[in-house]
């Protein structure tokens, strides 16, 4: 029995009550009840529980969202390879099916847990709450949650993260932010990935930035290639700054780390 | 189709509230769905019957109040109607729009027997 959410098992919410329809219940007059309950209240409550647990362990938590194929997993692989072991990561991988991504992430040495949503189109706070159970959160600095590849549904579900990070690759249209505004509005950070392919495409980077800022003027934008490493230093600097804000005592130890990240990007 | 999960939340909330009142059947349930909530009212209506089978809500009517989006410009203060695809203030063209209404997603009322 799960004490946080009251479920009997991580994936199963069964109706354990009986349904005595028409079995001699009293026929009082129908009455009207006022309720005023938010439909996402349960998810939001569980997300708040997650957030409290993450805060207690001083974790930086990112929820990565994008369409399928934007390069989220490759981006994580590169980030993990470059920033471990200076920082301790844990990774939750959300996919409808297979554990392929978890295997790729696991190869970097990071603790990883695959969540298969089956028919589900997004991760919710309940899945994440149980998903992190195998991790030693106390010894983790940064939790990365790779959401199901979908630019629609994950926008509505708070997982307890600090930031939603949207990933958009230059092989997609530059007007993606206009087509899926809900997601780009919900995100704080946008990673424009695969910029090494720009010479071969008609993708207009300036236009894309403009569209993204039109939907969300506050959006922080990084242009990166996880293949060549171009632009990754700025992303790492932002990531490390966020993690250091959670654990100020890490500042000194990581000062040398930043310059190392920068040299990586120049390779 | 995250509307299936949303519709299951309607069923969960309504069953719990009915049980609290000692009722065993829900005749109707009223929900508010805002135009900016990211949830399609039509899709909720579509899956309501499938989600209510075998519950207190079997055969219940679903009444959906669609709440239009309304916003205010952070720059010039103008108020305007908003849909999910409005990005700029209709008056001054600024992009910083504050949502005043349209994110609603809640059960407001139900009739029980």
Q: What is the pLDDT of residues B62-79, one digit of tens each?
A: 999 999 999 999 899 999
| Within a domain: A231 | yes
| Within a domain: A85 | yes
* Binary contact (B38, A156; C-beta < 8 A): yes
| Within a domain: A207 | yes
Which phi and psi angles does A33 have, rounded to 5°?
A: -115, 135
Residue A101's domain is classified under what CATH number?
Answer: 3.40.50.300
Q: Which residues of B76-113 are buried (b: 16+ CB within 10 A; e: fewer)?
A: eeeebebeeeebebeeeeebebeeebbebbbbbbbbbb
- Provide the token pair at B42: 């039509």
Coil, strand or helix: which one is A233?
Answer: helix
| Within a domain: A8 | no
Residues of chain B with pLDDT under 50: none
- pLDDT at residue A236 in the model: 98
Burial class (CB in 10 A: 0-12, 13-18, 19+), B4: middle
| Within a domain: A243 | yes
Compare A265 and A32 and report the one with higher pLDDT: A32
| Within a domain: A3 | no
Asked if the interface predicted TM-score (ipTM) of this complex is over 0.90, the answer is: no
- pLDDT at residue A250 in the model: 80
Angle at A259 between CA A254 and CA A261, to 5 degrees: 90
Average pLDDT over residues A205-214: 95
* Contact in structure between A202 and A179 (CB atoms under 8 Å): no
* Binary contact (B112, A31; C-beta < 8 A): yes
Residues 209-238 of A with CB under 8 A from B: 213-215, 217
Angle at A7 between CA B50 and CA A44, to 5 degrees: 80
- Residue A66 CA to residue A64 CA, distance in Å, equals 7
Cβ neighbour number for residue A17 with a 10 Å cutoff:
11
DSSP label at A9?
B
Q: Does B64 touch chain A (CB under 8 A)?
A: no
Structural domain of A118: 37-247
Q: For chain A, what is the domain count?
A: 1
**Cα separations (Å) of A172 from A112, A197, A206, A215, B7?**
28, 11, 14, 17, 32
Q: Give the gyration radius of chain A's Cα atoms.
A: 21
Chains A & B: contacts with CB separation below 8 Å: 101
- pLDDT at residue B38 in the model: 87
| Within a domain: A160 | yes
* Contact in structure between A66 and A74 (CB atoms under 8 Å): no
| Within a domain: A2 | no
Q: What is the pLDDT of residues A144-175, one digit of tens each?
A: 999 999 998 899 899 999 999 999 999 999 99
pLDDT interval class at A27 (50, 70, 90): low
């Amino acid at each position: 029995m799960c004490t946080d959410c009251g479920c009997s098992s991580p994936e199963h919410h069964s109706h354990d009550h009986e349904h005595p329809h028409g079995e001699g219940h009293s026929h009082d007059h129908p009455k009207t009840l006022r309720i005023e309950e938010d439909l996402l209240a349960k998810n939001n409550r569980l997300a708040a529980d997650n957030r409290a647990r993450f805060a207690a362990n001083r974790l930086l938590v990112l929820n990565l969202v994008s369409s399928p194929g934007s390069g989220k997993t490759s981006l994580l692989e590169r980030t993990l390879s470059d920033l471990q072991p200076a920082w301790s990561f844990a990774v939750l991988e959300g996919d409808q099916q297979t554990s392929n991504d978890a295997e790729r992430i696991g190869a970097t040495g990071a603790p990883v847990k695959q969540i298969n949503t089956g028919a589900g189109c997004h991760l919710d706070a309940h899945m994440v709450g149980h998903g992190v159970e195998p991790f030693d959160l106390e010894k983790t600095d940064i939790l990365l949650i790779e959401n199901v590849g979908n630019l629609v549904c994950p926008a509505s579900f708070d997982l307890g993260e600090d930031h939603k990070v949207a990933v958009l690759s230059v092989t997609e249209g530059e007007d993606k932010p206009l087509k899926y505004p809900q997601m780009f509005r919900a995100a704080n950070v946008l990673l424009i990935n695969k910029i090494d392919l720009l010479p071969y495409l008609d993708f207009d980077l300036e236009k894309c930035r403009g569209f993204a800022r039109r939907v969300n003027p506050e959006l922080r934008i990084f242009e990166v290639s996880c293949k060549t490493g171009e632009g990754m230093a700025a992303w790492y600097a932002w990531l490390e700054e966020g993690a250091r804000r959670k654990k100020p005592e890490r500042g000194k130890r990581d000062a040398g780390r930043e310059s190392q990240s920068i040299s990586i990007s120049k390779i | 189709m995250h509307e299936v999960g949303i519709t299951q939340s309607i069923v969960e909330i309504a069953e719990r509230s009915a049980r609290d009142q000692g009722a065993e059947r829900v005749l109707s349930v009223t929900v508010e769905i805002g135009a900016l909530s990211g949830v399609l009212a039509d899709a909720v209506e579509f899956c309501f019957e499938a989600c209510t089978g075998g519950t207190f809500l079997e055969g219940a009517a679903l009444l959906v109040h669609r709440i239009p989006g309304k916003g205010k410009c952070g720059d010039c203060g103008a108020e305007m109607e908003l849909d999910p695809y409005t990005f700029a203030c209709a008056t001054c063209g600024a992009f910083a729009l504050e949502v005043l209404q349209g994110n609603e997603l809640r059960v407001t009322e139900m009739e029980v027997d």
